[in-house]
């Protein structure tokens, strides 16, 4: 692709002539039928990218590199402190394993357009299963291993898979989580029944298999023959990935093949500044979009080695876990969530663990998944001594929307900002009337249509909901669901989900901004600010604060200082009066803080216990802390729904 000397030129070119820009990017890939048309506009304003092209993602991720002389280069590194295993696969070895697993699926009738649900822990076979589906033109739907049976059943009924692939167990720190009983319970609840269930039996106690339906995947692979790849149309769905919906029914995000491949390949160089052969580590889970894009497809498309880590940032075994992995495997780029860095900072505030490892090869740290508070950004910058890039994107986009484009031009960092729109994205800040706001004004973050390649073209079997959810609020724009603002230099500040903007006596205030300010206090390790119901003002903010380990301070004195901080920085208009000290915050297993759940709890409203919550007992602790202070509305713990 044409190399641009500055970010401004690249971004301007992508908006002035998107067809030329993205056809140029597409030329970097090997197509089985090269596209001559960049995109085809749809009546709803969206685009179908490279409609006349054909390719295969498994071929591009594996076979293509073997053909190019990289057969012996490392493709996948598996590091599992929870199981004590470490090993790697070359591109040739990974291709061969994937081809055989594809043979297992093909022998069970899986072909182009069939769906396969993958419910697996962070083991190499999860990556192989995804690539095996892609090899056949089948559509995979990976369900995060932390989901409870009910959530899995919902996804099985919606995706209607021919095959489900799972394992006997996963590992959470030191605890084995039996997956097969969870899968069996989900299948008992589900209306749709897959024809086959394949189970990877990890070392230890084997899962019980149901005769006539279940099979041992390893045994099947020993008997199967490898199969080749099947070229598919650019618009052919590669996968379905479910994300939470406001109605309670998950939304099946559809990802096309061609646009996604072009966008990921482009981002590996332009956003992440990688080179083929280098080691890229996305410390996420294959069940989330980061795992799809930057554990599996992105790094392998670009010819990098990708790292699959089955562990935590702390407690597996300590706060130096990430630094050990970086030093041992010579990681050039780390991508993780701010929550992970905060967890490390909480247990090792002075960064003493860093002294044990050689991190000289690390070039950059990328943070995403939630807003990065300036305090966490500064801590990482100070202790790692590398660029720290806070960037922003969504499951729906599939790749970064706002970032510091390190591979084009390293821009200066503004703490609190995710930097600038990535080439291809025409981002606007809109008011409630749909008109663009001026610099500094906070509003709805939207993207002018058409969206660039890689973004969702629709929802699985529900295009009407796609239109209603994303395109109907502001005609001609994709609504991200986040609020924020842009400054005079087009730096974007994401302040959180629109429903995290609270209305205090008619004033719209950002809880994200308050969190950033509170996190600057030296005693604060982690903080969440939620808006709770108030009969006089509509809503008032409530801070839930986790103190740093070893930091001894009277809770009421800390609250007094935090209240004064918000009053000083935002003003009395915020009506910030309560900062309650808690031992921990409730999170999903991917690290996202459950702010909405805490808000419902504080307001005494009925809510469902999220299936991905890390530890349900945390909610009881928070309820008791609020009750002791007589904050919020009455709430009975037995209202929890498991």
* Residue 203 falls inside a structural domain: yes
Q: What is the pLDDT of residues 319-329, one digit of tens each?
A: 999 999 999 99
Average pLDDT over the chain reads 93
* Residue 73 falls inside a structural domain: yes
The answer on 295 and 172 residing in a single domain is yes
The answer on 536 and 441 residing in a single domain is no
Any idea what the CATH number is for the domain that residue 228 is in?
3.40.50.12780
Domain of residue 74, residue span: 7-311+391-484
Query: Given a cut of 90, is residue 573 above it in pLDDT?
Result: no
The answer on 470 and 534 residing in a single domain is no
* Residue 214 falls inside a structural domain: yes
Q: What is the pLDDT of residues 333-382, one digit of tens each?
A: 999 998 899 989 999 999 999 999 999 999 999 999 877 888 889 999 99
The answer on 530 and 476 residing in a single domain is no
Q: How many domains does the chain have?
A: 2
Query: Given a cut of 70, is residue 63 above it in pLDDT?
Result: yes
Q: Average pLDDT, stretch 217-243?
A: 97
3 state DSSP class of 169: strand
* Residue 492 falls inside a structural domain: no
The answer on 117 and 177 residing in a single domain is yes
* Residue 42 falls inside a structural domain: yes
| Nearest-angstrom CA–CA distance, 447 and 464 | 19
The answer on 397 and 303 residing in a single domain is yes
The answer on 464 and 553 residing in a single domain is no
- What would the two tokens of residue 527 be? 């903080």
The answer on 583 and 444 residing in a single domain is no
* Residue 368 falls inside a structural domain: no
Instruction: Calculate the alpha carbon distances from 231 to 33, 110, 113, 137 in Å.
Output: 9, 15, 12, 7
pLDDT-derived band at 641, boundaries 50, 70, 90: very low
* Residue 360 falls inside a structural domain: no
The answer on 468 and 513 residing in a single domain is no
| Nearest-angstrom CA–CA distance, 133 and 112 | 9
**C-alpha 308 chain-centroid distance:** 15
Query: Given a cut of 50, is residue 294 above it in pLDDT?
Result: yes
Angle at alpha carbon of residue 383, lines to 381 and 386, rounded to 5°: 45
Q: What is the pLDDT of residues 160-201, one digit of tens each?
A: 999 999 999 999 898 999 999 999 999 999 999 999 999 999
Question: What is the structure's pLDDT at 218?
Answer: 98
The answer on 471 and 551 residing in a single domain is no
Any idea what the CATH number is for the domain that residue 599 is in?
3.30.300.30
The answer on 525 and 480 residing in a single domain is no
Question: What is the structure's pLDDT at 94?
Answer: 98
* Residue 366 falls inside a structural domain: no
- Which own/partner contact pairs does 534-540 have at CB distance under 8 Å and 24+ positions apart? 534/504, 534/575, 536/505, 537/504, 537/505, 537/575, 538/503, 538/504, 538/505, 538/506, 539/502, 539/503, 539/504, 540/502, 540/504, 540/575, 540/576, 540/577
């Amino acid at each position: 692709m044409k190399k641009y000397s500055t970010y401004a030129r690249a971004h301007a070119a992508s908006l002035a002539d998107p067809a030329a820009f993205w056809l140029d990017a597409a030329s970097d890939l090997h197509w089985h039928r090269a596209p001559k048309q960049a995109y085809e506009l749809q009546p709803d304003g969206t685009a179908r990218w490279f409609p006349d092209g054909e390719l295969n993602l498994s071929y591009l991720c594996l076979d293509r590199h073997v053909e190019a002389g990289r057969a012996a280069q490392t493709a996948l590194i598996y590091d599992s402190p929870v199981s004590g295993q470490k090993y790697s696969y070359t591109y040739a070895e990974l291709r061969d394993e994937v081809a055989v697993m594809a043979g297992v699926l093909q022998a069970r009738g899986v072909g182009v357009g069939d769906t396969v649900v993958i419910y697996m822990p962070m083991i190499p076979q999860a990556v192989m299963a995804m690539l095996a589906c892609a090899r056949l033109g089948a559509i995979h739907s990976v369900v995060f291993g932390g989901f409870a049976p009910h959530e899995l059943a919902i996804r099985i009924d919606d995706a209607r898979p021919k095959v489900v692939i799972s394992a006997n167990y996963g590992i959470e720190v030191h605890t084995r989580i039996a997956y097969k009983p969870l899968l069996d319970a989900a299948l008992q609840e589900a209306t749709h029944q897959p024809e086959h269930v394949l189970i990877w039996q990890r070392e230890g106690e084997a899962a019980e298999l149901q005769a006539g339906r279940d099979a041992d995947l390893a045994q099947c692979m020993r008997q199967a023959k490898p199969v080749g790849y099947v070229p598919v149309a650019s618009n052919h769905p590669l996968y379905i990935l479910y994300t939470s919906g406001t109605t309670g029914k998950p939304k099946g995000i559809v990802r096309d093949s061609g646009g996604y491949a072009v966008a990921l390949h482009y981002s590996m160089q332009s956003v992440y500044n990688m080179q083929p052969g280098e080691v890229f580590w996305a410390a996420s889970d294959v069940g989330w979009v980061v795992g799809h894009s930057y554990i599996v497809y992105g790094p392998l498309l670009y010819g990098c080695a990708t790292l699959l880590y089955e562990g935590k940032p702390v407690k597996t075994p300590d706060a130096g876990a990430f630094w050990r992995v970086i030093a041992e495997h010579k990681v050039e780029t780390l991508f993780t969530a701010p929550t992970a860095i905060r967890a490390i900072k909480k247990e090792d505030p002075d960064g003493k663990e860093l002294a044990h490892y050689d991190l000289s090869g690390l070039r950059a740290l990328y943070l995403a998944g939630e807003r990065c508070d300036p305090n966490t950004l500064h801590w990482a910058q100070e202790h790692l001594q590398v660029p720290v890039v806070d960037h922003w994107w969504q499951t729906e986009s599939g790749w970064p929307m706002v970032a510091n484009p390190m591979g084009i031009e390293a821009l200066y960092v503004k703490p609190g900002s995710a930097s600038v729109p990535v080439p291809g994205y025409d981002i606007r800040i809109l008011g409630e009337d749909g008109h663009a706001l001026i610099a500094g004004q906070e509003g709805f973050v939207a993207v002018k249509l058409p969206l660039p390649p890689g973004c969702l073209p629709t929802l699985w079997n529900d295009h009407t909901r796609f239109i209603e959810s994303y395109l109907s609020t502001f005609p001609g724009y994709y609504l991200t669901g986040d609020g924020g603002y842009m400054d005079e230099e087009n730096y974007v500040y994401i302040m959180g989900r629109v429903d995290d903007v609270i209305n205090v006596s008619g004033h719209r205030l950002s809880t994200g901004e308050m969190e950033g300010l509170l996190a600057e206090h030296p005693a604060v390790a982690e903080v969440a600010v939620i808006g709770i119901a108030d009969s006089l003002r509509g809503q008032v903010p409530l801070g839930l604060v986790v103190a740093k380990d070893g930091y001894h301070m009277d809770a009421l004195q800390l609250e007094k200082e935090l209240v004064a901080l918000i009053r000083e920085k935002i003003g009395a208009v915020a009506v910030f009066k309560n900062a309650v000290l808690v031992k921990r915050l409730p999170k999903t297993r991917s690290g996202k803080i459950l702010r909405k759940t805490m808000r419902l709890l504080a307001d005494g409203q009925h809510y469902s216990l999220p299936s991905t919550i890390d530890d349900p007992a945390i909610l009881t602790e928070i309820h008791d802390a609020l009750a002791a202070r007589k904050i919020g509305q009455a709430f009975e713990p037995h209202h929890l729904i498991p």
